[in-house]
Structure 1
Amino acid sequence: MPIENIPEKYLKNSTKSPDLFVYDFKMTSDVLKSKVNLGMNMFSFLQIGKKQVHFAGTAVAVNKEQSLLLKKGNWLWTELLDKEEIYYCKLFFFSEKVLREFLEKHGANEQQVNDDIPYFIIGNDAYISSYINSLSTISEAPKVFMENLLSVKFEELMLYLLHKYGQKFQSYLYSLVAKETSPFRKIVESKIHSNLKLGEIAFLCNMSLSTFKRHFIEEYKVSPGKWLQDKRLQKAKETLEQGSLRPSDIYLDFGYNNLSNFSIAFKNKFGISPRDI
């Protein structure tokens, strides 16, 4: 699957990304785990549909009751239609430059931040709904005024979220301008019990598959396929031992496309069928 560079693909006839940019994203079919290189931090105001995103060591799912603020970097996006036959969200991109200017003007002294969480969930209250509508309105304004209008709308939104979420939101904003760290082991080990494929995990590590495999063997002294399979099968065994789920309920969650392959791998490792647990 090709990597999508966003917001570059949405910018028409532009050689340089603006500091602030709004885009209406619509689609009429589901998209599963698309690879996205997000070049700017971004608000995703989901209005119709469901969205799940993976980034490095974490994942989050939201519906139209929530919006997301996402940090720039490599993401896997799953976007699903709901009951309607369309998926729609309004995307508001902003550069690190305008964020730093906002923090210099309105932030407290810079502090130690926890950069483990690359997203911030925003509840879609009455203000957010009104704000989204206002973005639609200013999109019709003359281009010459657009930059100044978006600057005002960005500051308005950030001040509201600082008021609503306080220290938690301010710490998150500082994490967006902090030096990024992405420890290899942390990303890999957070995906042990996901159903992501090796190529998808490699993408989240910002590596090609071949580089990822080579780095993995240097780190763990075993191939990534063997290591992940052993870890996932062990977790599957623990899950089945709890007694509430059957093999047919869990095989997809542990990276197997069908029950037969799961059962064979399970029996090869533990000497018994998963049905016998």
Structure 2
Amino acid sequence: MQVENIPQIYQQEDRQADDLFIYDYKMTEDVVKSKVQLSMNMFSFLQVGKKQVHFADASVMVNKEQSLLIRQGNWLWTELLDNDDIYYCKLFFFSESRLKAFLEKHSSLEYNQGNEQSFFIIENDAYIASFLGTLSQMAAMPESYSTQMLTIKFEEIMTYLLAKYGEQFERYLYSLISKESSPFRKTVEGNACSNLKLEEFAFLCNMSLSSFKRKFISEFGESPGKWLQDKRLQKAYDLLLQGERTASDIYLDFGYGNLSNFSAAFKTKFGINPSDLHRNS
């Protein structure tokens, strides 16, 4: 099953990544345990249908009476239609920098990252329904105004939920802030898009190859080969999208011995050939 990179798959290719982003998500078929790589924290304001999310240590199911705030990470999503044969939710993504700015302005707690939690359940009410209605009306605004309004609406919903749930919500927000990386994680992440082999990563970490693999799975939750391939292919995608380099220029940089292997892996992950992406950029 292909991994969905969210919110990237919803954003226009010719736009820079936004640190606040809204997307109306609708379906007419059930989706069961879709693999999702969520790169931003996200509100999922459910309007019609049911949603279940599997995390590393828990799972949660909500219906249209509830919404979710979900931390960035790799999750499994199940989305089920309602009796109206449709599933609809409004997704509101925000970056860590936006979150930090909000907490600096509104938090009453001393800085405390708190215990890591994957999700926060929000009980829908009349205020939230009205808030979502105003988000829908923003679609008709010129882009310059809607961008300014989105900043205001982010402050509004965060302030409202802070008032509604108090310290419980405030501590959850702190738990969303990335913790300082361990030396092992820094070494891996700092070299993720190089063409280093696993043996070379293990050497840099002063570990045997077998110890490195065990530590990697413990730290990142998946095998080093799969994780590194995903990171490298995503970086290659971003480079090709800029239109300045071709697959022939970059495949060696990402650890592939020949162009055909790179192209095959790229198409498996993204569904298109790297040459097609370069042509369309």
Q: Which residue of 1 aligns with 2:47?
A: 47
Separation in 2 of the partners of 1:9 and 1:179? 27
Q: CA deviation at 1:82?
A: 1.4
Q: Which residue of 2 aligns with 1:224?
A: none
Structure 2 counterparts to residues 98-117 of structure 1, below 5 A = 98-108=98-108, 109-111=110-112, 113-115=114-116, 117=117
One-letter amino acid of the counterpart of residue 44, structure 2:
S
One-letter amino acid of the counterpart of residue 17, structure 2:
S
Check whether the contact 1:56–1:205 (CA below 8 A) recurs between aligned residues. no
TM-score (normalizing by structure 1): 0.65
Q: Which residue of 2 aligns with 1:90?
A: 90
Q: Which residue of 1 aligns with 2:133?
A: 133
Count of residue pairs the alignment pairs up: 191
Tell me the SS of whatever aligns to 2:154.
helix
| Correspondence 1:69 to 2:69 | yes
Tell me the SS of whatever aligns to 1:105.
helix
- Give the 3 Å change call, closer, same or farther, for CA 40–112 of structure 1 in structure 2: closer
TM-score (normalizing by structure 2): 0.64
Structure 2 counterparts to residues 194-233 of structure 1, below 5 A = 206-208=221-223
Q: Which residue of 2 aligns with 1:253?
A: none
Q: CA deviation at 1:13?
A: 2.5
- Give the 3 Å change call, closer, same or farther, for CA 83–205 of structure 1 in structure 2: farther
Aligned Cα RMSD in Å? Answer: 2.2
Identity %: 57
Q: CA deviation at 1:17?
A: 1.5
Check whether the contact 2:162–2:170 (CA below 8 A) recurs between aligned residues. yes
- Give the 3 Å change call, closer, same or farther, for CA 166–20 of structure 1 in structure 2: same
Check whether the contact 2:113–2:179 (CA below 8 A) recurs between aligned residues. no
Structure 2 counterparts to residues 1-277 of structure 1, below 5 A = 1-14=1-14, 16-108=16-108, 109-111=110-112, 113-115=114-116, 117-179=117-179, 206-208=221-223
Check whether the contact 1:74–1:206 (CA below 8 A) recurs between aligned residues. no
Separation in 2 of the partners of 1:14 and 1:92? 20
Q: CA deviation at 1:139?
A: 1.8
For structure 2, the 5+ residue unaligned runs are: 182-216, 228-281
